[in-house]
Amino acid sequence: MQQTNTPVIKDLVLIGGGHAHVSVLKRFGMNPVPGLRITLVTRDIHTPYSGMLPGFVAGHYDYDDCHIDLGPLARFAGARLYHAEVDGIDPDKKLVYAPGRPPIAYDVLSINTGSRPDSVNIPGVDEYALAAKPIDIFLHKWQQLVERVRDSEGPFRIVVVGGGAGGVELALSTRVRLQNTLRTAGKDPGLLHHTLVTASDYIMHTHNAGVRKRFERILAERNIEIKTGARVNEVTAKSVHATDGASIDSDAVIWVTSASAPGWPAKSGLGVDSAGFILVDDQLQSVSHKHVFAVGDAAELRDPRPKSGVFAVRQGPVLAHNLRAAVTGKSLRPYRPQKNFLGLISTGNQYAVASRGNWSYESAWLWTLKDWIDRKFMRNFNELPDMKNDDSPLLAAGIADAEAIRELSTLAMRCGGCGAKVGATVLSRVMQRLPDTHRDDVLIGRDAPDDCAMLSVPDGMVMVQSVDYFRAFIGDTYTFGAIAANHALGDIFAMGAEPQSALAIATVPYGRERVVEETLYDLLAGALSILEPTGAVLAGGHSSEGAELAFGLSVNGLIDPDKVWRKQGLQPGDAIVLTKSVGTGTLFAAEMRAKAKGRWIDAAIQSMLVSSQRAAECLQGYGATACTDLTGFGIVGHLIEMTRASAVDAVLTMDAIPLLDGALETVNAGILSSLQPQNLRLRRAIQDVEQTSKHPAFPLLFDPQTAGGLLAGVPGERVSACIDELHSMGYPESVIIGHVEPLSNQESPIRIRI
């Protein structure tokens, strides 16, 4: 794990969390390059391990058995994790583009984005077929197919298009699983018909004749019909059509044809082959741009190899070496792909066929071996060593060139006070890049050279103000800026006000000018992405350099003074409504220790990005009596503020409290936010606390929230309609978590029902 205060000298950006990049991340985590910042940009947070996919489909593995979790792995590598799909790069400006976020700068780039089955120009494939890739979409549609088959009456016909190893494995594994599904539902498994269609004259054309013969026999034994020499040229809702005039009836089509490349590498100007795969030399470097590396299915070697995960896996260690060498000015190593490799191809029923050169063999024992090899591979990435703080030198040898050394020499003597401000040139460049926004009541804003913003408050309105500021808890600066803005605005919404303006305050780690500029831009662009839709203007701010990244905003809102929501309005009979799930405190504490699943963190981030603006409007429409936004003090802390101010009791229903995925697991593993113990002191405000504290979710009542939901009292007779509307407005987790009663005990105003 890299020291966080090491200045960033170079940026290595990895696009895609494929089979080679997971190995790169692991190796850089074990042996960091001080001064190198790694950013992983990936469409999926969990990388499916292709070798185990048919086993997952057949029902032998669960999701986590066969997916590499990029969340903890990126944390282990000290890499920033950007959940985004890249749609282009500029190899001359060295920028990566992903929709909805600022460009990502790199010094060295590596691409491991895989491939998709070829369906170009074939009508109906996108609409009616289940393409084997992207695998997350396949898995989602696969689940729907399992349910369709389970609920079907009469025969069900499945056509698998593609006669390579992937198509054959999927035909066999889907048949095993779906026949079991029918059996379990008390139906006849014989109702399921499978046809495997291939354009080639025989199946598995990249394997030897012995392997082909074995699979022809196995497919026949399983009643899977094979149709060779049929190039599919159209898929409809009920049939598959081929160029030889054949038409095959189908209720579902699985598409596993040969690999195709996305269009963006070619459009970006990278050298590609006629199919669009990135051409690389023996050192895995792009033949057109030496600072770009490409591996796995996305790349084409001088001496091409089949598109198979095996090659991506083998490229991993060489790629890791070469990336390290590229950033530190050392020699690169060639990658020498093996001519023959042992392929273990499963038959769906815990049995496998081995293929190597002209040799083949089959047995149940081979499946056991394959299972052992695959699980061992997965343990490499899903069971990471404990993270230690790195005590290696401040910068890796060779990473800093003369210019970097000159820039860095000034860092040690950086001033405090006003001398710590981010330089005027950097600041003005950032300001020029940010979009301008105006409001009539913001008289002097960010575009003017004056010392202060000048705001007017329209007649009949008052201004409410709040400020929030905290240390970065994720590596994705743009998303952090957006969450910080959302968090700050929560106070404005909780008062029932309309956001008007904000001032930003940023502390950016000491570093090279380019890095400081990019960080500041990302933070402010992220904040603007949240402020703008609410109607608020970023009127100014202050930025300085410091030891660690931190960001916050002072926010201003306008409101008619007669309509201000306070904490003190709760009435007996009110229902207590919460609009978002809780658990961000424990989840991010776990994430810091690389103990949280990537999908939990991703879902928590999505929740933190949801604005409470419309929820506040809805709650107001239903006459909410009091409101607050859920932040650092957790549910109990904030509820105490409300009950004490309103002189009432609150009764909470423990099982009604909505929890973010994974939050219960992390608190039960004893992982709590560092603020939690202080919040826990408020437990004395709970009646019968000894009893209720035994509930497994009890610690979550004290979990500090970042950009949490609104906690409001809503008159009992209107709450049901209010919840329905919140759901329809995009707050699906909104729920009644309790109700308000007359005051019974000043000291302990909270009761919990279990």
Ligand X SMILES: Cc1cc2nc3c(=O)[nH]c(=O)nc-3n(C[C@H](O)[C@H](O)[C@H](O)COP(=O)(O)OP(=O)(O)OC[C@H]3O[C@@H](n4cnc5c(N)ncnc54)[C@H](O)[C@@H]3O)c2cc1C
Q: Which residues are catalytic?
A: 418
CB of 306 to ligand X, least distance (A): 8
Would you tell me which residues interact with ligand X (CB under 6 A)? Answer: 15-20, 41-44, 47, 50-51, 53-54, 85-86, 112-114, 132-133, 166, 169-170, 256, 296-298, 307-310, 312
Nearest distance from C-beta of residue 138 to ligand X, angstroms: 8
As a whole number of angstroms, the distance between CA 181 and CA 192 comes to: 11
DSSP per-residue letters across 42-97:
ES-SEEE-GGGHHHHHHTSS-GGGGEEEHHHHHHHHT-EEEE----EEETTTTEEE
**Minimum CB distance to ligand X, residue 413 (Å):** 40
Shortest spacing between CB 317 and ligand X, in angstroms:
14
Least Å distance, CB 345 to ligand X, is 7
Q: For residue 212, give the H/E element and its range.
A: helix 209-221
User: Do residues 102 and 482 lie in contact, with contact meaning Cβ atoms separated by under 8 Å?
Assistant: no
Quote the least distance from Cβ 206 to ligand X, whole Å: 11
Pick the closer one to ligand X by CB: 57 or 400: 57
Of 94 and 638, nearer to ligand X (C-beta) is 94
Residues 6+ apart with CB under 8 A from 426: 513, 516, 517, 520
User: Closer CB to ligand X, residue 22 or residue 737?
Assistant: 22
**49 token code pair:** 């391990």
The smaller minimum CB distance to ligand X, of residues 314 and 638, is found at: 314
Task: Please identify which residue in the block is written with the tokens 């792995």.
Answer: 73
d(CA 586, CA 669): 10
Q: Which is nearer to ligand X, 50 or 250 (CB)?
A: 50
Closest residue by Cα to residue 393 from 12, 667, 31: 31
Look at phi and psi of residue 261 and say left if phi exceeds 0, alpha if psi is from -120 to 50, else beta. beta
| 167-200 burial: b if 16+ Cβ within 10 Å, else e | bbbbbbbbbbbbbebbeeeebebebbbbbbbbbb
State in angstroms the smallest separation of the CB of 338 from ligand X: 13
CA 723 to chain centre: 28
Q: Give SS3 for 30.
A: helix
Q: Using alpha carbons only, give the angle 445, 451, 457 rounded to the nearest 5 degrees.
A: 45
Site of tokens 């039960």 = 668
What is the C-alpha to C-alpha distance for residues 62 and 734, in angstroms, rounded to an integer?
30
Of 300 and 518, which CB lies nearer to ligand X in the complex structure? Answer: 300
Count the neighbouring beta carbons within 10 Å of the beta carbon of residue 513.
Answer: 13
C-alpha pair distances (Å), 724 with each of 215, 683, 721, 728, 733: 54, 32, 5, 6, 11
Strand partners, 248: 240
Give the separation between CA 389 and CA 373, rounded to whole angstroms.
Answer: 31
User: Which of residues 54 and 541 has its CB atom nearest to ligand X in the complex?
Assistant: 54
* DSSP state for residue 481 in the 8-state scheme: H
Smallest gap from Cβ 50 to ligand X, in A, equals 3
Q: Which is nearer to ligand X, 137 or 457 (CB)?
A: 137
Nearest distance, CB of residue 105 and ligand X, angstroms: 17
Measured between alpha carbons, how far is 266 from 244 in angstroms, rounded to an integer? 33
Q: 364 or 448, CB closer to ligand X?
A: 364
**3 state SS for 560-607:** CHHHCCCHHHCCCCEEEEECCCECHHHHHHHHHCCCCCHHHHHHHHHH
Classify strands 108-111 and 232-235 as parallel, antiparallel or unpaired: unpaired
Name the minimum Å distance from CB 118 to ligand X.
12
The residue among 475 and 713 lying less far from ligand X, judged by its C-beta, is 475
Peptide bond between residue 134 and the one before it cis (omega within 30 degrees of 0): yes
CA distance 320 to 14: 11
Shortest Cβ distance from residue 670 to ligand X (Å)?
31
CA distances from 88 to 35, 94, 287, 294, 737 (A): 26, 11, 18, 14, 46
Given a contact cutoff of 8 angstroms between Cβ atoms, the answer to whether 268 and 289 are in contact is no
Closer residue to ligand X, CB minimum distance, 205 or 330: 205
